[in-house]
């Protein structure tokens, strides 16, 4: 019987940094704010908590599988990947670096969430989102929903490009 290597939390974080979002491959699941926590038990068992971005996100199963495969690839046998619903995911968990990468990828990044107290009053207004390609503010909302639940669709009237905006939730 081989002796079991006990990994540190830092090592595990480094491993899961290699797991990218299947829908947005320029971001890893730490930058996305999907990986919420790593714990190592006394026996060396690795517990990873992940949270879905949207309730019905079809990428969630894929991400869970990719995390498991990554751990197996690193020869970790004793682990558990747990879905954590205790705190609702927010785009505020995305790092500034991640938002810059999103913009480079052609997706207008989410801005900081604002207090929801005025939600009902805000129903009539539309938000101005700058174009990720030419930075113009001459853009218009085409649809609240885009190719995935987390994105809405805009059109830039300056460079005449359609683009997606990562919804701010």
Partner 1 sequence: MSTETLTKKDAFKIYLLRLADDRLILGQRMSEWCGHGPVLEEDLALANMALDLIGHASSLYAYAAEIEGEGHDEDYFAYFRDDYEFTNLQLCELPNDDFAFTIARQFLFSSFSYYQYEQLKDSKDEQFSGMINKHLKEIKYHLRHSRDWVLKLGDGTDESHKKIQEAFDELWMYVGELFFTDGVNEMMLAEGNGADLLSFKEEWKKLVEDTFTEATLTVPDWDQFMMKGSRGGMHTEHLGLMLAQMQFLRRSHPDADWQ
Task: By CB under 8 A, name the binding residues for partner 1.
Answer: 52, 54-58, 85-90, 116, 119-120, 123, 142-149, 153, 167, 169
Distances (CA, A) of 82 to 20, 28, 47, 64: 18, 18, 7, 9
Minimum distance from CB of 74 to partner 1 (Å)?
A: 23
How far is it, in rounded angstroms, from Cα 116 to Cα 92? 14
Check: CB of residue 136 under 8 Å from CB of residue 120: no
Minimum distance from CB of 150 to partner 1 (Å)?
A: 9
Nearer to partner 1, 75 or 124 (CB): 124
Minimum distance from CB of 43 to partner 1 (Å)?
A: 26
Going by C-alpha positions, the residue among 152, 149, 165 that lies closest to residue 53 is 149
Nearer to partner 1, 42 or 87 (CB): 87
Minimum distance from CB of 111 to partner 1 (Å)?
A: 15
Nearer to partner 1, 10 or 117 (CB): 117
The sign of the dihedral angle between the CA atoms of 119, 164, 83, 87 is negative
Burial, 26: exposed, middle or buried (Cβ in 10 Å; 0-12, 13-18, 19+)? middle
Nearer to partner 1, 101 or 151 (CB): 151
> To which residue do tokens 């006990």 refer?
6
Nearer to partner 1, 7 or 21 (CB): 21
- What tokens were used for 143? 């649809």
Minimum distance from CB of 101 to partner 1 (Å)?
A: 23
């Amino acid at each position: 019987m081989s002796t079991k290597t006990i990994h540190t939390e830092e090592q595990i974080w480094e491993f899961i940094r290699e797991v990218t979002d299947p829908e947005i491959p320029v971001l890893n699941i730490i930058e996305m704010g999907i990986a919420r926590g790593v714990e190592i038990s006394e026996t060396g068992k690795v517990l990873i908590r992940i949270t879905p971005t949207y309730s019905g996100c079809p990428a969630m199963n894929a991400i869970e599988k990719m995390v498991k495969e990554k751990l197996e690839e690193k020869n970790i046998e004793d682990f558990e990947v747990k879905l954590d619903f205790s705190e609702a995911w927010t785009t505020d968990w995305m790092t500034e670096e991640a938002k810059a990468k999103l913009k480079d990828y052609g997706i207008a990044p989410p801005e900081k969430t604002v207090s929801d107290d005025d939600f009902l009053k805000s129903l009539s207004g539309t938000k101005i989102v700058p174009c990720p390609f030419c930075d113009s503010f001459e853009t218009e909302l085409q649809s609240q929903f885009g190719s995935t639940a987390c994105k809405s669709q805009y059109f830039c009237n300056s460079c005449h490009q359609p683009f997606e905006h990562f919804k701010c939730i």
